[in-house]
Structure 1
Amino acid sequence: MYKVISISILFLFFSWKSKKNENLLIKQTTEVIQNSKNFKFVIAESGLNYRSEPKGKILGKFEWREKVEYLYETGITQKIIDNYTEIEGTWVAVKNKKDTVFVFDYYLSDDEPSFSKTKLYYAEPYFNEIRKPSNERDIRQAFVNVSESFYMPENFLEKKDLRKDTIYFNKEQRKEFFKRMKYSITDSIFIYDFKSGIIKKHLVDKTPIIACISIYAKTDEENKTQDYDEWSYQIGFNLGKMTSAGFAMIANENPFVENGLQQIIFEEMDSASIEINIENSLVPEGWKNNTVPAYTFSYENTAFFVKKSKDSYGWNNLLVKNVNTKESFDVNIYLGEGSSLAPIKIKGEKGAHDNYFQYQGTQYIGKLFKNKPPVVFGFTYKSFGCPSIRFIDKQELPILILCDNRH
């Protein structure tokens, strides 16, 4: 009996010592990481719940983009369903003021979110032309493509419809679409028409929802002898014969400022103007004796300067400055595969935009959103990927346009 008691005491001693060492190891590891100040950013758009322990009681919520101090990994993994998709992550400890709390690490990132949560789309206008040389009529309805936001479940489109170019959602499909997109029947599609500056409104509950085949879909077009793949369809709102083209948002109230945008039209600078802007530290000294023409455009306290050759649409040396602080502003001109400079418009010259109107590749500036700073966009074309618009305020994140640029 004494042997059994002795063995039990010995077992408890080593268990206690093992647990103590484990706790010490966690504490030491935590202290090392704390001292190194390992920070993460919350990327969950609705915020990230923090708990008393892994999978435990919710104590509060970290906001989107909030910076949190990472302490240690618990080793406890979990699979959850988020936005109708299964995801897997690990529970980790982070600091909340003086307390240690636990969060699901799938929603943490080393990098701070660089784009706004705003869901902005394009409204494509009605299109009708005769194809040559076949004389076949090509008609496309006006369309707001929201595929980038819609998590379509497998077999959502009925197999009997998969040879159609356009599928109109039935009652059940509309119901599921509204549920997944979190739309209310009182929401509307608000469209800022670039050409007129007028805001167009369509009630979502009264607007047909369609799946229309992408131009990149691979199938036997002529004989329709095989089905389309359901992922080759673009999902969105059919606006009929609406000729407006511009930005679109789905919301309960109009987010746009009517007639808030204006096209950027540059004017040529003479030598006296260049001298004045050099003196004001807005353009460099080297612009004085340069034989290449220089151009400028002003909006409120923001001035644009650019060099451009008169015999082409090419340009370079774009400078954007706050005329009061002399601070530079980056319009994010990225040139890579599928990206190129869009032609600029110069006052008094016939240019690329005089014969047609196009929303991508036309420079605009002004108040697009209510209660937000002015925006600027349109300096580059993008064949791959989607363009973005920037606020003339570094505190506001740029908005990536959800253009469904599939290839």
Structure 2
Amino acid sequence: MIGFEADAKALSKFKDFYFHHTVAYIGKEDPFVKGQMKPITWGKINPGNFPKIKMKAEDNKSTIDKRIGDAYVFENDSLHYFIQDYLGDEMNSARRLVVLHARTKALVYEEFFFEEDGVELARLNYSKESYNSIYQWTGNLFKAKPPVVLGFTSISFGCPYISFLDKNEKSIYISCDNRH
């Protein structure tokens, strides 16, 4: 087990949620790019404006008993991020994230997030003024790697992962200490 003791003053800008999005690496070279991650600030859109991209068969099966809920968009550089809720039993039980290239409308990334035992959907960031905690982030995090997206679920039993906005890059599963 490795532990770190950090002076509380050094963590002051992280507020009460510093432990949710703090990542450390121990090795010869720092793999991180500094200052290129942005919080995703969602703007509500009409659900009919969510991109008409065919779902994968397994995702379609998982949403067949759910109704479509609210939809949101975030525009960042050359990418447009869309997220849509799928409701079951009056609760958000799934979300679909679709990222498109702004100019070509080509699909860059897609993922479904489902609530299950030990996994909840994270609250969406709506406006910079209302940030108590910032959950969803995007941008360049690693040197010589594509942009990432993270923060869509809260995991009780296990550890989160970081997804690259590139189909050829596998997600990075974070090693964490998640004891209760």
* Alignment TM-score, normalising by the size of structure 2: 0.69
Q: Deviations over 1:12-35 (max 9, x none)?
A: xxxxxxxxxxxxxxxxxxxxxxxx
Aligned twin of 2:84: 307
Q: Cα distance, 1:368 vs. partner?
A: 0.5
- 1:104-253 maps to which residues of 2 (within 5 A)? 147=1, 235-241=2-8, 242-243=10-11, 244=14, 245=18, 246-253=22-29
Question: Are the aligned partners of 1:314 and 1:343 in contact in 2 as well (CA < 8 Å)?
Answer: no
Paired residue total: 154
Letter in 2 for 1:327: L
Q: Does 1:320 align with 2:98?
A: yes
On the 8 A contact 1:306/1:316 being kept in 2, the answer is no
Is 1:268 aligned to 2:44, yes or no? yes
Using CA pairs under 8 Å that are at least 6 residues apart, name the structure with larger relative contact order, 1 or 2: 2
Matches within 5 A, 1:5-404: 147=1, 235-241=2-8, 242-243=10-11, 244=14, 245=18, 246-269=22-45, 274=49, 282-283=51-52, 292-307=69-84, 314=92, 316-323=94-101, 324=104, 326-327=106-107, 329-331=109-111, 333-347=113-127, 350=130, 354-355=131-132, 357=133, 362-404=135-177
Contact 1:313 1:343 in 2 (8 A): no
What's the Cα RMSD here? Answer: 3.3
Structure 1, unmatched stretches of 5+, are 1-146, 148-234, 285-289
Amino acid at match of 1:258: K
Relative distance call for 1:388 and 1:292 in structure 2 (3 A) is: closer
Shift of 1:252: 2.9
CA distance in 1, matches of 2:116, 2:68: 28
Identity %: 33
Distance in 1 between the 2:172 and 2:70 partners? 33
Deviation at 1:331?
A: 3.7
Following the alignment from structure 1 to structure 2, what is the Cα–Cα distance between the partners of residues 348 and 401? Answer: 27
Deviation, structure 1 residue 321: 3.1
| Structure number, greater radius of gyration | 1
Please state which structure has a larger fraction of its residues in helix.
1
Post-superposition Cα deviations, 1:359-384, rounded to whole Å, max 9, x if no partner, equal xxx01000001111101111000000
Counterpart residue identity of residue 265, structure 1 = T
Query: Are the structure 2 counterparts of residues 295 and 376 from structure 1 closer, same or farther at C-alpha, using a change threshold of 3 Å?
Result: same
Compared CA separation, residues 308 and 347, structure 1 to 2 (3 A): farther
How far 1:240 moved relative to its partner? 3.1
TM-score (norm 1): 0.33
Tell me if the contact between 2:119 and 2:154 (Cα under 8 Å) persists in the aligned partners.
yes
Report the 3-state secondary structure (helix = DSSP H, G, I; strand = E; otherwise coil) of the residue aligned with 1:365: strand
Q: Which runs of 5+ in 2 are unaligned?
A: 54-66
* Code of the aligned partner of 2:120: S
